[in-house]
Every structure is written in structure tokens, then in C-alpha cells.
Structure 1
Amino acid sequence: MKLIIAEKPSVSRNIADALKIKNRQDGFFEGNGYIVTWAFGHLLQLYDAKDYEEKMASWKMENFPFIPQKFQYKVKSNPKNREKPDLGAKKQLNIIHQLMNRNDVDAIISACDFDREGQLIGDSIIYKARPTKPVYRLLLNEWTPQEVLNGLDNLKLNTELRPLQDAGISRQWADWVIGINLTSVATLKYQKGKGKALNIGRVLLPTLKVIYDRDQEIANFKPEDYFKLQATFKTAENETYEATYFEEKEEKFKSKEQLEEIRSQINEKPGVIHNKTVQKKKEFPPFLFNLSNLQGHITSKHNGWTADKVLKVAQSLYENKFITYPRTSSIALEESLVGKTAKVLETHSEDLPYRDEIKFIRSKRVFNNAKVESHSAIIPTYLKPKKLTSDEQVVYQAIKNRFIMQFMPVAEHEETIIETKIKDTSIKGLFIVKGKVQLIEGWKKVEKIQSKDTILPLVHVNDEVDMLKSEITSHVTKPPKQHTEKTLLRMMETAGRNIKQDEEDIEAILSGFSIGTPATRAETIKKLKDVGYISSQGKNLVCTELGKKLVETFPIKNLFSLEFTGRLEKSLFDIEKGKHNKNEFLQMIYSFTTKAVEEIKTDSAGTIHEVTRGRKLNDFMGKCPVCGHAVIEGKKGFGCSNWKNGCKFVIWKNDKFLATMKKKPTKTMVKTLLKNGVVTVKGLTSKQGNKFDAQMRYEKNTENDYFSWKMEFTK
């Protein structure tokens, strides 16, 4: 009898189904020579500091740094009462250990996810019981019946996965030491009042710094004016085209006078076609999804989605056998999967209207071992879902479409560049225009991607053309855009290195030099929001005042460094590959933490966060313009206290109209508005990045009961 331990109940059900086991007991399935049981993710957790030493129950500066002589594990805590163990976890752990000790069990198989965390979950449960029986590892990329049976025929000894276990332990212990010590000491040093701790983490802080840096770039951006010279030309066949003036490959000019001088020389003079180039260009489909690219694609395309939500939905699809392992950094498939992939493609092509255009080919863009790190890219399995939730449909369709695209014809377009020289002038530049015509739609059919054609008239070199008009247009440089979850995930994936989305050379990603892992990045972004360091404004991510103060005050600058954190992640990656020593890594972490604690203790900086518990938000702002009741401040806005009786007057703190001009309503602003009916708001920001002032009114709409802002400008 062989005992299989899965990471979750849903996975154990998949294994039992593959082995045709129908007999379910309390906490396990049994039949056909196998027992299949399960964990609920982590059943064990590291001791809390107070479990090692009683004095650590209270936070005192002199107790830190604290690094245990030997790390120990206990049953995970009840989420509602951390002082007590989770009874469900305790019961299941006992069931697993009893099954391991059964006389008829002669081998133990860990079937937890094939990654750092999965290895840690399985090993912590199994070796807690000090087994004397051989332990094996089931390594799968999907949970379809065929793959489960193949995997059970190709088990590995668990000892062969020791480097993966070392990496998992190193990550867990390092994060515990840094988190417990620096969170405690930072909270004691920089926070006044009792409340949520100042959360300090190895992956949390560099991610926060990325958002802070972008906010600072935007705040410090100084818009500059620039100008372009554009002209409209007419051919002998009376067809027209517009072109832009270029001089030494530059179309933007800081000096309007320079362009006015050029314009005076060329005005309404004829031109001649100086050069014409026509090129056919191929457009390859985007690579297969890894987790970060999938999260970026979905969050940018669909409102209300976060990276964390994408991961949860993808995990559900994986556990239900519909997609391959989602927590991957790879954008290609292993070359050994060629035959299997062809069958998957055939299954998913059956009912597509363009199935005749789908052709399986073994290309290096799709099958390339050099682009695979542990797990291949995410693709559908051969099992077609009969029913999906609306959220599952969004993620599944994106994965399926991206997969199908790889085997559709390459899209092609024709690009035409026409260069026009003005006759009888001494100007150095040329008027240039580009045209584009889609020739082959190819893979773009899959998601009905529309290509915009720019069709130019037929001309030849040395043809003469007439200038109909010319004009100088004014423009303003724009600040960089705020980070979204898509751009932030990309920064984390590449540790800030400028690597293009579809770049062939992805060595930096696959060498482990990154911020976090595909499995943890979404959790990091969510945690930054939960602890109050960043907030969302639509799809944009911005630093809160607390996050900004933390970056500017907290003295351990290495923890904000992409380079430093990227090197730590690279070390964990190398431990996983057997190229770096676990103990050396941990000693470096302990030394770093000890020095950091001492640096914080002697730091002279003041308070970062002052907790004002029980702060009264229902301050009186003024009288409601609708019903005359008091307008008071609430958590999310300034609203009428008569709302229970149907009054809908409210000014939201995250008001979207004001947010477009980088403003939030303040108490003073609301009080003035309610008193006078109008308020002068200073320092609004236009779309071009210019600052301006305006008088604002908040008036009831004629067609409904809601209010809208009206702006007035004073000379």
C-alpha cells in the first residue's frame, strides 16, 4: 500500500479519480493499492518568537535582535485566535501521521505542488513524524488522469529534491527573521500609539519603492513645450496626404521660431518625392503566458481585476484539471511536450471557425528548453470544461486564445514610408509620413484584434506634389504614467531591468534575479494595500502618505533596493539548483538583520506613523444643501447624516473627477463649499501636466438625484 499526500483536498480528489478510487474515509481515500490523503496548504507554521522564550511575549527594544538557535514548527494557528491551534489542521495532521505509521503502508509519496513552497509543505508534514519508510516525490505540471498515472510510473526519491527543500526553508526562515525583528523594532522606534505594526518585509519594501519612485518622477516632472511642423500635399491624381517635418531624425522642436522660419521658406512651394520604401513586416503572436504576463494581461484588460484575483482563479482552473501549473516564470514549453501539445491543440481546434488555418508546428518560439524554468508556460489541458464561472471564463479564454495563436499564420502588414523634399529651398529636412496596410490577419483573428490601416496614395520617386497648406502645432511633454499592477509585476519580474515584453533573451527572468516569485508577487501587491502603504486609483497604484514617510525615513536602504533584493532572490534560486549553500545564505541574513536592528536603534529619525485610535470621523462640515441636515465626515466621504432617510448628498474622498486633476477633497474645501456654495481650489493639474486654479461648484444633476462638479475660471 502506498500513501499519497496531496497539498489540497481538490487535488487528492483528482488523484483518487485517476486511480479509480471510490472509497472515501474520514480524511482520506483508499483503494486499488493506494491511500490518498491531503493537507490544507500549510498544516504547520514556524514557532512565534514567544514560543521560544517567554520574554518575547512583549515587544521590548532590548529583546532584539532575536534569532532562534533552532527553528521549530507547530500546528498552524487558528486565524480567529492565534493563541490556539487550528483544530481542523491538527486533526488532519494526526490523520496523515497515523496513515504513515500503518503497517500496510510501505511507501510515502509527496504530491504537493512542484515548487519551493509545495516542497516545504510536504516535507514539513512528512518529516515531523520522522518516517522510517521510503519517501518519494510525484512531480506533475497538471492534474489530468493521464498525467497522474504517468507521474506515478516515474516517481523520484524525495532526497533528490533536497535543494528545493533547502530553498523553501531558506526563504521561510529568512523572511521570519527579517520580518519579526525589523517589524518589531521599526514599530517600537517609529510608531506612536497602539495599532497595526509597521510591516517590514524583504519583498514588500523594494516593491513599495518602485511605486514611490514613479510617484516622485511624476511630482517632479516639469512639462516642456515643443512644436511640430506639418504639411498637406496633393498628388497629380488629386489625392492628398499629410506629413511631418523631420530634421536629423527629429520631429519635435523646442524653438517655435525655428519652425516659423522654415515655414516661411516652404510656404505653398511644390515638393518632390525624395524617397519611398515599401516593406512587408511580420508580426508574431505574443509568447505563451507565464503567471506575471497573464496577471498583467487580465488586470489591464478587465476592470476590477487584481493580480491576486487572477492567481486565485488560475489556481482553481489548475486544481480542476483545465490548465497546467500557473505559478510559472516560463514563456515556452519543454521540447518533450511536442506530441502531447499537438493533441491538446487538436482538441481545442475542433469547433473554431478558423480551424482550417490552425496548423501544428514545432517552433522554437513555443518549444524551447532554454526558455523553461522548472515549469513550462501556462496552456490548457486536453480536458475541455463544460461549465465555468464568469471569472474562470475570463482567465481560461485568455490562456486558450494565447495557446491557439501560436499555431495560426503569422500576421503580415505592408509598411510604406514616403519622404517629401520641398523644391527651391535650402532647408535640410524632409516631410515624412508612414502608412500601414494589413495583408494577413493571421493570429489576430483569435481575439479579433483590429489593425488600423493608414493608406497612402500611390506615388513614385521624383513625382512632383503640391503643398496645400502647412501649420505649426503646439504640444507639451507628458509625465510618466503611474504604475498599474501590470507594469509593477513586470518591474518585479525583471528586478527593474529594462527588458521588453516579448524579448527573446529572457535570461534575467529565468536566472532567478527578480523581486519575489511568480507565486508571491500578487500577494505582495495585495499586502501593500492591506497595510496601508499604497492605494488604488482606478487601475493606477500610488503611495499613501504612510508609504511615502516609510521610504523617506526608514534607514535600512538596502531593503528598498531592487538590486539587493534581486540578489537575495537569486541566491534562493541558486540554492534550489544546488549552486549555493543554505547555511551560508542564512548566516548572511542573520548578520544583515543584526546590523539592521542596531542601526534602527541608534537612528535619530522621528515618528513615521502616529496611530490615533478611535478618531472621530463624524465631524460637522456644514448643512446639507438638499435637506438641511448636518454633513459629516465618514471613512469614505463627506455625506449627509440623513442618509438613512434617503438623502443622497455625498462628496467621496476618492472622487474620480477630482482625481483626474490630482486632487482630493479636504475638510476645509468641503466646509467652504457648504458655506458659500463655491470654493476656490488651487494647484489642479491639467492633462498636459500644467498647474491651474479654478472655482468649483457641486451641483445637483437635473436628470437624477446625484451631484456633479462644475468649474469656473477667474481672470
Structure 2
Amino acid sequence: MQLILAEKPSVAKNIADALNVKGKKDGYYEGDNFLITWAFGHLLELYDAKDYDSKMARWKMDNFPFIPSSFQYKVKSNPKDRSKPDWGVQKQLKTVHQLMKRTDVEAIISACDYDREGQLIGDSIIYKQKPKKQVYRLLLNEWTPEGVKEGMNRLRPNQELRPLLDAGMSRQWADWVIGINLTSVATLKYQKGKGKALNIGRVLLPTLKIIYDRDKEIEQFKPEEYFKLTAAFKTKDGETYEGTYIEEKQEKFNDQNVLTRIQDAVTNKDANVIDKQVERKKEFPPYLFNLSNLQGFITNKFKGWSSDKVLKVAQSLYEKKLITYPRTSSIALDESLVGKTAKVLKVHSENLPYKDEITFKKSKRVFNNQKVESHSAIIPTYMKPKQLTRDQEIVYTAIKNRFIMQFMPIAESEQTLLKTKVDAEDVNGYFLTKGKVQIVEGWKKVDHIQSKDVILPKVNLNDQVSVVDAKVSSHMTKPPKRHTEKTLLKVMETCGKSYKEEEDAGEDSSDEEMLGSILAGFSIGTPATRAETIKKLKDIGYIKADKKNLICTPLGKRLVESFPIPELFDLEFTGRLEKTLSDIEKNRVKKDQFLDLVFSFTSDSVEKIKQAEDITINEIKSSKNSNEVLGKCPVCGENVVDSYVAFSCSNWKKGKGCSFAIWKNDKYLASMKKKPTKTMVKSLLKNGRAHVKGLTSKKGKKFSAYLKYEKDPDKKYFSWKMEFK
């Protein structure tokens, strides 16, 4: 009997289906040869600081830096009460460990995601039990039945994946140490008032700095006026075309008078076509998606999408066996996947109107081991979807279409350049005209991409034409565009290195290809974490979204301009840390070297913050309590007033022991997206119940109800009751 541990219940179900394991038990599946169980992502988490030392329960500047001599794990905490373990997680962990101890289990197989986080999830659960049985690793890029069976035939000893675990632990421990220490001392030093902490993170701050820098460029930008001269020419057949005046390779002029003089000189004059170049250009399809490019494509094309949402939808498609592993940085496929890819293409080409144009070929653009970093690019699997949500359909169609494009004919266009010289004195330049006609639509058919043709009249070299109009136009230089999630993801992926954005992939994406190989591992965050970083920056109030644009908030600006640890904003510094984690995965760098660097940096940073100038970066103004009497306490008869965190009995405030309170963060009300109000509390105290509108059900529907807040006769505490009449 072999025990297989999957990362999630849905993946365990996929494995069970593939291996024909039918017996569903409490927390696992059982068949003749396999037991299949699951985690819920991380079942174990690192100790909180107070778990190591009780004095860390309160933040005091003297307690930092705090770096444990060894890192320990505990059962994941209950999100509603972090002092207690999560009951469901604790139960599942016990199930997994009991299965590991079964005498009929000969080997354990970790089937968590094939990345450093998946390795950490599986190993932390398995090795907490100190098993004496052999542990293997199932490494898959997709959860199709075929993929699972193939993977089971090439299991690897789990010990071979030790570098991947080291990278996962290094990332986790480093982020814990930097986060706990610098968030704590920064909050103590730079924040006034009680509230959310001033969040400091290894990946958060450089990402914030990217947006800050762009905002600063826009703020400091001074628009400048420039001028262009365009002329309209008539051919001998009476057709017209336009050209832009070029002199010494320049088409923008600062001095309007220069162009006005030329305008006067060319008006109503004859001209000659002095050069005509016609070139047939190939337009290659954009590369296969990696996660960042997929997120950029979707967030740019569809309203209301965030990169975090794209990842969640892609993950759901992966767990439904419809796409390959989404958290990848690669834009090509491993060369070993040639046969499998041909089968996938055949499945998805069957009913397409242009299926006769689809030809499978093994090209270096698609199959290239040098462009694969851990995981291949995202493509559909051979399984066709039966039912998708609207969101899933958007992401799935984008991935499928990008895949099919690779095997369609290369698009071709005919591009024409005309140079027209006017017969006039003191006019040294010429007028340039560009034309483009799509000759072969090719891969553009897949996404219905319409090329904008600029059709020129029939004009030949040395033809004589005449100037029928000439205009000088005024223009203003434009500031850089604000960052969107698409552009931000690209900068994070390349750590700020310059790149040529491939909007429609009109030419071969050689720059993108080069970056893929040179910058492997040198980035801000990983494909899996970048979306989460952007979401967190919004949630903690360092940036905000204005439609598609991302903008630094005043708090974010103050943090960048005042926080005294410049390395944390430095893309190069962060990129080197991420590159070192990548090198740990590849067994080129040892975990302890990296952690020593991080611990030393953290200790130095804490001391710098302590010695830095006392300033306020964030001030949280507490809402002053009105001391308005809302009613009489149902327990002792004293006044109920508005305190900072609750509507509570004044005897409780005076320390006389009455515990009646309606908490402002009441979890029952929060579950229906409501908070208690003064009006609600007044009605409860006066009438015994309050009519509450705008409550939200679990299915997201709004409703109204009467709420009562009554003491349970058998217990000491009050609880809510709902009525509809």
C-alpha cells in the first residue's frame, strides 16, 4: 500500500480518479493499492514571536531584533482566534499522520505542487511525524489521468528535492524575520495611534517604489511643445497620399518658424518620388503565456480583473485538469513534451473553421529547454472543458488561443516606404510616407486581430506628384503613462531591466526571449506571489487603483520618502535575494549563507531605525467617544455608552465587572457584512430587537431581518437571534 499526500482535496480527487481509487473515507480515499489524503495548503505555520518568548506578546522597542535560534512549527491557527489551532486543520493533520503509521503502508508519496512552496507544504507535514518509511516525490505539470499515471512511473526519492525544500524554508524564514522585526519597530517608531501595523516586507517595498517612481516622473514632467509638417500629394491619376517632413532624421521641430517657412516654400509645388521600398515582413505570434504575461493580457483586456483574480481562476482551471501548472515564468515548452503537445493540438483543432491551416511543427520558438525555468509555459491539456464559469472561460480561451497561434501560419504584411522630395529652394529634407497591407492573416485569425491597413495609391519611383496641401501642426510631449498591473508585473518579472513590450508581437520577440534566459530567477517575487503582493499593497493602503492605473497613496509616498532602509526599496537588492533563492533551488548556494545574510541585514536595519530621526509616517486618529448614552444595560441597569471598540456598559469601563458589550467587530454581524450602529444598539436596548436592512446572505443576496441580542439562560454570554416578523 502506498500513501499519497496531495496539496488540496480537489487534487486528491483527481489522483483518485486517475488511479481508480473509489473508497471515500473521512479525510482520505482508500483502494486496493493506494491511500490518498490531502492538506489544505499549509497545515503547519511558523511559531509567532510570543510562542518562543512570552515577553514578545507586547511590542517593545527593546525586544528587537528578535531572531529565533531555531525555527519551529505549529498547527495552523484559527483565523478567528489566533490563540487556538484551527480545528479542521488539526483533524486532517491527525488523519494524515495516522495513515502514515498504518502497518500496511510501505511508502509515502508527496504529490504537492512542484514548486518550493509545494515542497515545503508536503515535507513539513510528512517529516513532523519522523517517518521510517521511504518517501517519494510525484512531480507533475498537470493533473490529467494520463499525467498522473506517467508521473507514478517516474517517482523520485524525496531526498533529491532537498534543495527545493531549502529554498522554500529560506523564503519563509527570511520573510518572517524581516516582516516581524521591521514591521514591529517601524510601527513603534513611525506610527501614532492604534490600528493596523505599518507593514514592511521584502517584496512589498520595492514594488511600492516602482509605482512611486513612475508617479514622481509624471509629477515632475514638464510638457514641451513641438511641431510637425505634413503635406498632401496628388498623383497623376488624381489620387492623394500624405507624408511627414523629415530633415536629418528628425520629424519633430521645436521652432515653428522653421516649418512655417518650409510650408510656404512647398505649397503648390511639384515633387518627385525619390525612393520607394517595399518589404514583406513576417509577424510572429506572441510567445506562449507564462503567469505574468497571462495576468498582464487579461487585466489589460478585460475590465474589473486583477492579477490576483487571474491567478485564482487559472489555479481553478489547473485543478480541473484543463491547463498545465500556471505558476510558471517560462514562455516555452520542454522538448520532452513534443509528442504530448501534438496530441493536445489535435484535440483542440478538431472543430475550428481554420483547422486546415493548423500544422504541428517542432520549432525552437515553442520547444526550447533553454527557455524553460522549472515549469514549462501554460498550455491547455488534452481534456476539453464541459462547463466553465464566465471567468474561467475568459482565462481558458486566452490560454487555448495563444497555444493554437503557435501552429498557425506566420502572419505577413507588405510594408511600403515612400520618400517624396519637393522641388523648392532651401528645402533640404523630404516627406516620408508609410503604408502597410496585411497579405497573410495567419495566426491573427485565432484572436480575430484586425490589422490596420494603410493603403497607398499606385506610385512608382521617379513619379512626379504635386503638393495640394501643407499644414504645420502643434503637439505637446506626453508624460509617461501610469503603471497598470500589466506593466507593473513586467517590471517585477524583469526587476526593472529595460524591455521592449510586445503588444501585438509584430516582429520576433527576441528581447523577451533574451530576458527569459538572462534574468532567470532575478526578479521581484515569484510568479506565484506577485499578484498577492499587488493586492496586499492595495489592502494596506500604500497604493490605490484608479480604473486600470495604480497610484501611490500619501501614506505610500511618506513611507518611501522617510523609511531609513534604502536597500528594501532597491530593485537590485531584492532581485539578488530572489536570485539567491533560485540558486538554492538549483543547489548552487547553501541555505545558511542566505539566512546569515538576511539575519545580519535585519539586525542592522533594526538598529538604524532605532537611531533614526523621530518622525510620523502614519497617524491613526481614533474616533473620539461621544459618551452618548445609548440605553440601559440589560445586566446591571447602568448606562451603555460608545467606547473605542464596543458599545459597552459604563460599569465595565469603570472596572466594576459588568461585561455587557456589543463589539464593533462582532463576527456574527461581520458574516453578513454588517457592523453594529448606534441606532441599532438604541433599538435593541429600548425594544429588545432592531430591524436591520442590507444584511448579506452566504450566497451574496441582500435581505432584512429583526435581530435580538439576548443572554443564554444556561451560559454567561449574549448571543444573536434572527427573526423575520
Describe how 1:520-535 pairs up with structure 2 within 5 A: 520-535=529-544
After TM superposition, give the deviation of residue 260 of structure 1 in Å.
1.3
Q: Which residue is equivalent to 1:342?
A: 342
Cα distance in 2 for partners of 1:497, 1:99 equals 49
1:551 paired with 2:560, answer yes
Aligned match of 1:516: 525
Asked whether the equivalents of residues 78 and 84 of structure 1 are also in contact (C-alpha less than 8 Å), the reply is yes
Matches within 5 A, 1:428-443: 428-443=428-443
Aligned length in residues: 617
Match of 1:611 in 2: 620
1:568 equivalent in alignment to 2:577: yes
Letter in 2 for 1:505: M
> Contact 1:215/1:543 (CA < 8 Å) preserved in 2?
yes
Rounded Cα–Cα distance in structure 1 between residues aligned with 2:25 and 2:264:
91
Q: Does 1:540 align with 2:549?
A: yes
Aligned-pair distance for 1:572? 0.2
Per-residue displacement from partner, 1:129-160 (whole Å, max 9, x unpaired)?
11111110000000000110110110000000
Which letter maps to 1:536?
A: A
Letter in 1 for 2:531: A
Q: Residue in 2 aligned with 1:255?
A: 255
Corresponding residue for 1:594? Answer: 603
TM superposition shift of 1:614: 2.5
- Give the match for residue 293 of structure 2: 293
Q: Deviations over 1:151-188 (max 9, x none)?
A: 01100000000100000000000000000000000000
Alignment of 1:49 onto 2:49: yes
Secondary structure of 1:504's match?
Answer: helix
Distance 1:6 1:450 in 2: 45
CA gap 1:10/1:615 in 2 versus in 1, 3 angstroms: farther
| Secondary structure of the corresponding residue to residue 297 of structure 2 | helix
User: What's the offset of the Cα at 1:440?
Assistant: 0.4
Which residue of 1 is the match for residue 232 of structure 2? 232
1:222 equivalent in alignment to 2:231: no
- Matches for 1:455-534 after TM superposition, within 5 Å: 455-501=455-501, 502=509, 503-507=512-516, 511-534=520-543
**How far did residue 424 of structure 1 move?**
3.5
Q: Does 2:183 match 1:174? A: no
Q: Distance in 1 between matches of 2:625 and 2:377?
A: 51
SS of 1:131's equivalent? coil
Displacement of 1:322 in angstroms is 0.3
Residue 385 of structure 1 aligns with an amino acid whose one-letter code is P
| Residues 24, 30 of structure 2: 8 Å contact kept | yes
Q: Is the 8 A contact 1:555 1:603 kept in 2?
A: yes
CA–CA separation in structure 1 for the residues paired with 2:232 and 2:38: 72
Q: Deviations over 1:395-450 (max 9, x none)?
A: 00000000000000000000000000011423221100100000000000001100
Within 5 A, what are the aligned runs for 1:123-142?
Answer: 123-142=123-142
Q: Distance in 2 between matches of 1:616 and 1:495?
A: 47
**Residues 566-596 of structure 1 deviation map (CA, whole Å, 9 limit, x = unaligned):** 0000000000000011101000000000000
| Partners of 1:582 and 1:221 in 2: CA distance | 45
Kept in 1, the 8 Å contact 2:2–2:106? The answer is: yes
The alpha carbon displacement at 1:264 in A equals 2.4
* Partners of 2:299 and 2:305 within 8 A in 1: yes
Note if contact 1:329-1:510 (Cα within 8 Å) is conserved in structure 2: no
SS state at 2:273 partner? strand
Sort the Cα spacing of 1:401 and 1:241 in 2 relative to 1 into closer, same or farther, 3 A. same
Q: For residues 427 and 605 of structure 1, do their structure 2 counterparts lie closer, same or farther at Cα, with a shift above 3 Å needed?
A: farther
Alpha-carbon separation, structure 2, partners of 1:399 and 1:525: 23
Q: C-alpha offsets along residues 279-327 of structure 1, whole Å, 9 cap, x if unaligned?
A: 0000000000000000000000000000000000000000010000000
Matched with 2:382 is 382
Cα distance, 1:458 vs structure 2 = 1.2
Q: CA offsets per residue over residues 206-265 of structure 1, 9 Å max, x none?
A: 000000000000010000000000100001111100110011111110110111122222
Deviation of 1:616 after TM superposition, in Å, equals 9.8
CA distance in 2, matches of 1:360, 1:615: 70
Residues 22-52 of structure 1: CA deviation (Å, up to 9, x unaligned): 1011100010300000000000000000000
Query: What is aligned with 1:366?
Result: 366
- The amino acid that maps onto 1:525 is I
Secondary structure, in 3 states, of the residue corresponding to 1:572? helix
Counterpart for residue 61 of structure 1: 61
1:398 is aligned with what amino acid? A
Moved more, 254-263 or 356-365: 254-263
1:84-116: per-residue Cα shift (whole Å, max 9, x none)? 110111000011011111111110000000001
Alignment of 1:295-314 (within 5 A): 295-314=295-314
2: CA distance, partners of 1:95 / 1:516: 34
- Classify the secondary structure of the residue corresponding to 1:110: strand
2:664 aligned residue? none
Deviation at 1:499, TM superposition (A): 2.2
Correspondence 1:333 to 2:333? yes
Q: In the TM superposition, what is the alpha-carbon distance from 1:198 to its structure 2 partner?
A: 0.4
Cα pair 1:330 1:510 within 8 Å, conserved = no
**Is 1:121 aligned to 2:130, yes or no?**
no
Residue 578 (str. 1) matches residue 591 (str. 2): no
8 Å contact kept, 2:371–2:517: no
Aligned to 1:201: 201
Shift of 1:507: 4.0
> How far apart, CA to CA, are the structure 2 residues paired with 1:516 and 1:297?
19
Q: Is the contact made by 1:170 and 1:572 (CA closer than 8 Å) also made in structure 2?
A: yes
Contact between 1:494 and 1:509, CA under 8 Å: does it hold in 2?
no
How far, CA to CA, are the matches of 1:258 and 1:267 in structure 2?
15
Structure 1 position 415 matched with structure 2 position 419:
no
Q: Is the 8 A contact 1:379 1:399 kept in 2?
A: yes
SS of aligned partner of 1:94: helix
Provide the TM-score with structure 2 as the length reference.
0.84
Q: Which residue of 2 aligns with 1:93?
A: 93
Letter paired with 2:514: D
> Cα deviations across residues 625-665 of structure 1 (Å, max 9, x unaligned)?
xxxxxxxxxxxxxxxxxxxxxxxxxxxxxxxxxxxxxxxxx
**2:687 — aligned with what?**
none
**Structure 1: unaligned runs, 5 residues or longer:** 618-715
Contact 1:373 1:510 in 2 (8 A): no
Tell me how far apart the structure 2 counterparts of residues 605 and 313 of structure 1 sit (CA, whole Å).
Answer: 45
Q: Distance in 1 between matches of 2:515 and 2:482?
A: 25
SS in 2 for 1:506: helix
Q: CA deviation at 1:517?
A: 0.1
**TM-score, normalised on structure 1?**
0.85
- Check conservation: 1:209, 1:560, Cα contact below 8 A: yes
Q: How many angstroms apart in 1 are the aligned matches of 2:586 and 2:579?
A: 11
Spell out the pairing of 1:141-180 with structure 2 (5 A cutoff): 141-180=141-180
Partner residue, 1:320: 320
Q: Deviations over 1:499-556 (max 9, x none)?
A: 2343221245652000000000000000000100000000000001100100000000
| Distance of 1:336 and 1:420 partners within structure 2 | 54
How many Å separate the matches in 2 of 1:605 and 1:225? 45
Instruction: Select between 277-286 and 458-467 the one with higher mean Cα deviation.
Output: 458-467
1:643 aligned partner: none
* Superposition deviation, residue 12 in structure 1: 0.2
User: Amino acid of the residue matched to residue 301 of structure 2?
Assistant: K
Mapped pair 1:30 → 2:30: yes
The residue aligned with 2:212 is: 212
Q: Is the 8 A contact 1:553 1:605 kept in 2?
A: no
1:464 to partner: Cα distance: 0.8
Q: Kindly tell me: are residues 119 and 355 of structure 1, through their superposed partners in 2, closer, same or farther at Cα, counting changes over 3 Å?
A: same
Root-mean-square deviation over aligned CA pairs:
1.1
The letter of the residue matching 1:552 is E
